[in-house]
Amino acid sequence: MTAGVKAGPPLRAEPARRHTGWRRQRRWVLPVAGAALALVFLAPYVVMLLNSLRPSGDVVRTPPTFLPREWQLSTYAQILGDDRFLAWLKTSLLVATASTLIVIAVSVPAAYYTARFRFPGRTAFLLLVLVTQMFSPTALVVGIYREWFNLDMVNTYAALILTNAAFNLAFAVWILHGFLASIPKEVEEAAHLDGCSRLGTLRRVLLPLTMPGIVTAVIFTFIAAWNEYVVALTLMIDEDKKPLTVGLTSYVTGYEQHWDQLFAASIVAIVPVVVLFAVIEKHLIGGLTAGSVK
């Protein structure tokens, strides 16, 4: 009887072959797409680099050319030998570093207290911290200037450092609060049973566990302070006290146009941030992902 039964049609292997073909294509499609996206983001920096290696007149000459008509390699030596540029670089490093240290020193205990203790107004405080991120320094610049003018602190490093720290403190408190709240209380209780004080527990146990969050706060605070322009333009008057973001505009004015030096100085200005980001990239990625899981 089995010999008289007709065999059914063979199973199709086409969907499986399609799936396998897509997996093979994905091996080269994704890298090519990633490389194309990277080129899009790197294109402005390539143009800046090429413009820094051509004479100033060649930058604005028409028709423009992608490669310099004449290569000029002495621009970077001129920039690094310019006392004004070195003063601006020193100011930017001082302001960004000091602002970052202040933010971390204040945000860690503030985030720890809000994560571990329940107190009246806790939710309102956290909401206020989040709301402050909605205010732009541009909208508050007049009030900021008036405040420092009344304190006789206009054109001082302290005013610029404290202003940058204030604008970045809310973000650091918010992100560190999420990290500390995600750590089980049993970890802290175990440290207390071993005789560790509350401050010792924070320093020896909790801070190492929240290191990705601290690194995230450091990189974002440093970059924000390094790139700040409006407040620095308003508060700093002396030429040698201006940060890089404000000082770079001095290369191109209504009386002189040094486009090659402007682009060369811009390339040098992004080097510290790129180096800092490359050093702590792994911690930054881990911080952005781990802080959202509780």
Separation CA 223–CA 158 (nearest Å): 18
Is the pLDDT confidence value at 158 over 80?
yes
Paired strand residues for 201: none
Separation CA 54–CA 57 (nearest Å): 8
Does residue 59 lie within any of the structural domains? no
Angle between helices 157-182 and 281-290 (to 10 degrees): 50
Separation CA 118–CA 128 (nearest Å): 16
CA angle 158, 159, 165 (to 5 degrees): 85
Please name which of 16, 18, 37, 14 lies closest in space to residue 26, comparing C-alpha atoms: 18
Separation CA 159–CA 241 (nearest Å): 12
Give the model's pLDDT for residue 294: 41
Give the model's pLDDT for residue 152: 92
Q: How many CB atoms lie within 10 A of CB 256?
A: 10
CA angle 104, 109, 114 (to 5 degrees): 120
From 43-52, 135-144, 145-154, the region with the lowest mean pLDDT: 135-144
From 163-167, 255-259, 265-269, the region with the lowest mean pLDDT: 255-259
Separation CA 230–CA 137 (nearest Å): 7
Please name which of 133, 291, 281 lies closest in space to residue 219, comparing C-alpha atoms: 281
Does residue 219 lie within any of the structural domains? yes
Give the model's pLDDT for residue 69: 84
**pLDDT 10s digits, 208-239:** 888 888 888 898 899 999 999 999 999 999 98
- Backbone angle region of 21, left / alpha / beta, with phi > 0 → left and psi within -120 to 50 → alpha: alpha
Q: Provide the pLDDT confidence category of residue 32 given band limits of 50, 70 and 90.
A: confident
Give the model's pLDDT for residue 292: 41
Is the pLDDT confidence value at 17 over 50?
yes
Is the pLDDT confidence value at 11 over 80?
no
Q: What is the CA radius of gyration of the chain?
A: 27
Does residue 132 lie within any of the structural domains? yes
Cβ proximity of 96 and 226 under 8 Å: yes
CATH value at residue 218: 1.10.3720.10
Give the model's pLDDT for residue 235: 92
Does residue 120 lie within any of the structural domains? yes
Give 128's DSSP letter.
H
Q: Across the chain, which distance is largest between two alpha carbons, in Å? A: 106
Does residue 222 lie within any of the structural domains? yes
Number of residues in the chain: 294
Does residue 158 lie within any of the structural domains? yes
Cβ proximity of 232 and 245 under 8 Å: yes
- The residue with tokens 């941030």 is 273
Is the pLDDT confidence value at 141 over 60?
yes
Domain count across the chain: 1
- Give the percent of the chain with pLDDT over 70: 86
Give the model's pLDDT for residue 156: 93
Residue 17 tokens read as 């072959």
Residue 210 tokens read as 């929240």
Does residue 50 lie within any of the structural domains? no
Give the model's pLDDT for residue 20: 59
Range of the domain at 85: 81-290
Does residue 188 lie within any of the structural domains? yes
- The residue with tokens 């413009």 is 51
Give the model's pLDDT for residue 161: 95
